[in-house]
Chains A and B, each alone.
Chain A
Amino acid sequence: MREGFRQAMAWLHTWAGLIFGWLLFAIFLTGTLAYFKEEISHWMQPEVQTHPVDDVRSLNVAQQYLQANAPTAARWFINLPDAREPGLSVMWQDKVDPGQRGNFMRKTLDPVSGLAVQARESMGGEFFYRFHFQLQMPYPWGRWLSTLAAMVMFVALITGIITHKKIFKDFFTFRPRKGQRSWLDGHNAVGVLVLPFHLMITYSSLVIFMSMVMPAPILAAYGNDTQAFFSDVFPATDNAPALGQPGRLLPLASMYQQARAQWAGGHVERVAVNNPSDVNASVNVFRAGSDSVVHDFGSTVSFSGTTGELLRVSGEPSLPAVVGGSFYGLHMGRFAGPVLRWLYFICGLAGTAMIGTGLVIWLGKRQLKHAKAHVMPFELRLVEVLNIASMSGLLIAIAAFFWANRLLPVSFAERSGWEVQTFFIAWGLSLLHASVRRGRRGWVEQLSVAALLFMAIPVINALTTSHHLGVALASGDWAMAGFDLTCLACGVFFAWAARKMQRRGVPAPKAERARPLTLKREAH
């Protein structure tokens, strides 16, 4: 480590980037998809129809349903439909002993009929959203791992900036068709040009889980009473406990109106009822996150459920709360309209590409030194297999997830779980495939499979449902059509990538003859 500051940072960047790169690629790609999770859910559950119904009607319908189906639940949640999420959904948490986490049940309702929608069971886009921070691991381990990965990403970003000597000189430099040089230029381009986004998304992901990963100040300032901290920050969680006496819940619609009056035209996104059947029932009306960039954690209006009395209106947030809320709001991007949402998506893909190109460069640089030998050392072979499986393998898994959604029978009860299983089975198979096929062939074959799977998605959509591309375009269902078209475009891109990979394999012999000469000079 005596080589100097920049070299030390380069070493750190390279190794931190490699060890966590595979995981970060998956997090970034699924997180990027999550920006369109509502649209993905819409495609995956085409049975959920959009009915332009007003909020009050939806609220009444939801309350009736919950009263009939979950009267003794600990908490009710009603998510009102909006432009992107047309379904009225309700959720409830079972009442269990204190200290235990009750099970959550979720149902989508038809606001016209008041019945649960008979849509195919599916996690929809929520799967990608949850995966990108929970990593399919039991609570809370997945969150810890993803937040650790975020910290490593932060280190990798900063060390990358420090290492990049000619960051201003090479700002506009991108030289394609020059082998390793082009990959590095590409890595720098998607890294530097989109740097504000990368820094924002990485730091904000740390802030989002900071109470969990950095609880020290809470304990120092509040001692054992950590609940007091959360009540201070999230007034909506400061709810009166159940008294154990039955009570009648008033209609929620009037509380909805009062809350909206407080916000001078702001939108209501969700209504939560605590202990609905108890005399101490409380109702929290949450403002829509899409109303502003800065996510205001405090913007709830709270009422007593049985008397309708206005308990609390949250005041203006303090500066630290605004800063924290900004991180949260910017990360989530709920405020983004269609154009800005696509820009978020592109930035996310740029981040994914930054990680992917980094992994390819790591291997490529070291592969050059072993070009003469026919057998790659074990470590490099391991990296190669993991590169292929974590990148093209993940693409195959995503396509398989969508395929499973269309091919599994609609009425199959466990289909939601099986869609997720298909995702992981496909990913696992791609890992197996990568370990038995030699590098370049592994890439070409997997990219080709991904290309075929994605390009075929609009086709199987047309074959298995009545919502195919033609119908969607004709009825102005942009989410549905956009999904099909994006899958098609991705498929074409992967096919192009597969062909480029294949072509590059051909002129290798000539280059290999030239390399041994330079290798001898470098090795000593």
Chain B
Amino acid sequence: MLIAMLMCYAGFTALCLATDRHHGELLRSKPSPARRLGLRVAGGLLLTLAIGPAVWVSGWAQGLVEWCAVLMLSALLLVLLLPYRPRLALILAGVGLLASPVAAFAIL
């Protein structure tokens, strides 16, 4: 579940950055159309691929439930962090992405 959580959180952060408002708040610039598309694709991919580790460990039924739960909770965590600790929110996403391969090794 941990890898799925890290991937979902990073994915949502990417999707969040793809919006004008939040990109402006967090990175102080407007995203170019190319960047916006790239972030959207990356975000969507991360969210979808997160199904992989969840199902790999727990099977289809339980895995999908875990993925869904992790999806919701990572979004909630991001949205609650953003107004209070925006930099921490971004750092967590970066750290999470870096830590994912390590976490993946742990379950293999």
Direct contact of A and B (CB under 8 A): yes
Query: A-side interface residues toward B, CB under 8 Å?
Result: 169, 171-176, 189-190, 193-197, 292-294, 330, 335-336, 339-340, 343-344, 346-347, 350
For chain B residues 72-100, which have a beta carbon within 8 Å of chain A?
A: 72-73, 75-76, 78-80, 82-84
Is B55 part of the contact surface with A, judged by Cβ < 8 Å?
no
User: Is A292 a contact of B21 with CB atoms below 8 Å?
Assistant: no
User: Is B69 a contact of A294 with CB atoms below 8 Å?
Assistant: no
User: Is B79 a contact of A172 with CB atoms below 8 Å?
Assistant: yes
Q: From B66, which residue of chain A is reached at the shortest CB distance?
A: A340
Q: Provide the bound-state CA to CA distance between A173 and B68, in Å.
A: 21
Contacts of A292 in B (CB 8 A): 61
Q: From A169, which residue of chain B is reached at the shortest CB distance?
A: B19
User: Is A347 a contact of B84 with CB atoms below 8 Å?
Assistant: no
Q: From B68, which residue of chain A is reached at the shortest CB distance?
A: A196
Query: B-side interface residues toward A, CB under 8 Å?
Result: 1, 12, 15-16, 19, 21-22, 61-62, 65-66, 68-73, 75-76, 78-80, 82-84
Q: Provide the bound-state CA to CA distance between A176 and B82, in Å.
A: 10
Dominant SS at the B interface?
helix
Contacts of A330 in B (CB 8 A): 65
CB-based A-B contact count at 8 angstroms: 62
Most buried by B among A169, A189, A340, A350: A340
With contact pairs A172-B19, A176-B84, A340-B66 given, residues A197 and B61 touching in the complex (Cβ less than 8 Å): no
Q: Provide the bound-state CA to CA distance between A484 and B16, in Å.
A: 37
Contacts of B19 in A (CB 8 A): 169, 171-172
Residue contacts A-B, CB under 8 angstroms, 28 given:
A172-B15, A172-B19, A172-B22, A173-B21, A174-B79, A174-B83, A176-B83, A189-B79, A189-B80, A193-B72, A193-B75, A193-B79, A194-B76, A196-B68, A292-B61, A293-B62, A293-B65, A294-B61, A335-B65, A336-B65, A340-B1, A340-B65, A340-B66, A340-B69, A343-B70, A346-B76, A347-B72, A350-B76
With contact pairs A172-B22, A173-B21 given, residues A344 and B76 touching in the complex (Cβ less than 8 Å): no
User: Is A172 a contact of B61 with CB atoms below 8 Å?
Assistant: no
| Nearest Cβ on chain A to B8's Cβ, whole angstroms | 12
Q: List the 8 closest pairs (A to B, CB-CB), nearest first.
A: A293-B61, A343-B69, A193-B75, A172-B16, A194-B72, A193-B76, A174-B79, A189-B79
User: Is B72 a contact of A196 with CB atoms below 8 Å?
Assistant: yes
Contacts of B75 in A (CB 8 A): 193
User: Is B66 a contact of A172 with CB atoms below 8 Å?
Assistant: no
| Nearest Cβ on chain B to A205's Cβ, whole angstroms | 17
Contacts of B82 in A (CB 8 A): 172, 174
**Can you name 18 extra interface pairs (CB under 8 A) apart from A176-B84, A189-B79?**
A169-B19, A171-B15, A171-B16, A172-B12, A172-B19, A173-B21, A173-B79, A174-B79, A189-B80, A193-B72, A193-B75, A193-B79, A194-B76, A196-B72, A292-B61, A335-B62, A340-B1, A344-B69
With contact pairs A172-B16, A174-B79, A174-B83 given, residues A347 and B69 touching in the complex (Cβ less than 8 Å): yes
User: Is A175 a contact of B76 with CB atoms below 8 Å?
Assistant: no
Contacts of A169 in B (CB 8 A): 19
Q: Provide the bound-state CA to CA distance between A64 and B69, in Å.
A: 44
Q: From A188, which residue of chain B is reached at the shortest CB distance?
A: B79
Contacts of B65 in A (CB 8 A): 293, 330, 335-336, 340
Q: Provide the bound-state CA to CA distance between A292 and B72, in Å.
A: 22
| Nearest Cβ on chain A to B25's Cβ, whole angstroms | 10
Q: Provide the bound-state CA to CA distance between A174 and B12, in Å.
A: 15
User: Is B76 a contact of A189 with CB atoms below 8 Å?
Assistant: yes
User: Is B78 a contact of A172 with CB atoms below 8 Å?
Assistant: yes
Q: Provide the bound-state CA to CA distance between A350 and B73, in Å.
A: 10
User: Is A174 a contact of B69 with CB atoms below 8 Å?
Assistant: no
Q: Provide the bound-state CA to CA distance between A350 and B80, in Å.
A: 12
Q: Provide the bound-state CA to CA distance between A212 and B11, in Å.
A: 43
Contacts of A171 in B (CB 8 A): 15-16, 19
Contacts of B83 in A (CB 8 A): 174-176
